[in-house]
Chain A
Amino acid sequence: AQKVTQAQTEISVVEKEDVTLDCVYETRDTTYYLFWYKQPPSGELVFLIRRNSFDEQNEISGRYSWNFQKSTSSFNFTITASQVVDSAVYFCALSIITQGGSEKLVFGKGTKLTVNP
């Protein structure tokens, strides 16, 4: 069965601290995609990154970085020098292929990050 686990329900940090959000996934598929989405207090879902199962290179985008390790089935997300605007719920998701050939996302339960000034 496909599953995404975000063990950290809530994290609170002080501005400028680094913070890592954990994501562990389960799948039997050899080809899959992993995603991170941000949901700010306004409620919309903002796409952050997609990573396919064949690309284990870490990625950095500004203050954001992602560490994908197939050996541990993890796709962790680090925010460097956090800012108050980073306060949001962050979701990790796994893309799976349905019997009909379409793809659907399985989401983790989310990690609520609060960055205090």
Chain B
Amino acid sequence: NAGVTQTPKFRVLKTGQSMTLLCAQDMNHEYMYWYRQDPGMGLRLIHYSVGEGTTAKGEVPDGYNVSRLKKQNFLLGLESAAPSQTSVYFCASNRWGINEQFFGPGTRLTVL
């Protein structure tokens, strides 16, 4: 099992560009999450999904969109990147009823 994987690992964008981060898990987990980590802020929840075709807003959803078309994938989109979105993004997943979240390795995004 690969667990939770994230693509890409690093990315540099210019202000206004768009991109999509891909999270994939092979553990058949129902729940998936996107967090961002900023220095001194811990991890903050952006969006989450409780199943295929469903998404919900977390603590800091503005400027991001998500989609969960397949159970194993959770996409995070930035339509018009801003420097404030420079961060490390973590994806996580867990099985329904088992609340230990498994984290991906992270994506380091820089917006210039």
Contacts and interface: CB of A to CB of B under 8 A. Distances in A.
Indicate whether A and B interact.
yes
Contact residues of A: prevailing secondary structure: strand
15 contacts: A9-B40, A33-B99, A43-B88, A45-B90, A45-B106, A47-B102, A95-B99, A102-B48, A102-B50, A102-B56, A104-B33, A105-B45, A107-B42, A109-B42, A110-B42
Interface in B91-108: 92, 94, 99-103, 105-106
A108 B42 contact: yes
A33 B56 CA distance: 21
Interface string B30-42: 0101010000111
Interface residues of A, number: 25
A100 interface: yes
B43 A105 contact: yes
Contacts of B48: 98, 102, 104
Contact residues of B: prevailing secondary structure: strand
A44 interface: yes
Interface centre among B101, B103, B105, by most A CB within 10 Å?
Answer: B101
Given A33-B99, A44-B105, A50-B100, A91 B31 contact: no
B103 A44 contact: yes
A117 interface: no
Contacts of A45: 90, 103, 106
A109 B43 CA distance: 7
A102 B102 CA distance: 15
Contacts of B92: 105
A103 interface: yes
Given A43-B106, A103-B31, A98 B56 contact: yes
Interface string A84-104: 000000010101001011111
Contacts of A106: 45
Contacts of A47: 100-103
Contacts of A101: 50
A103 B41 contact: no
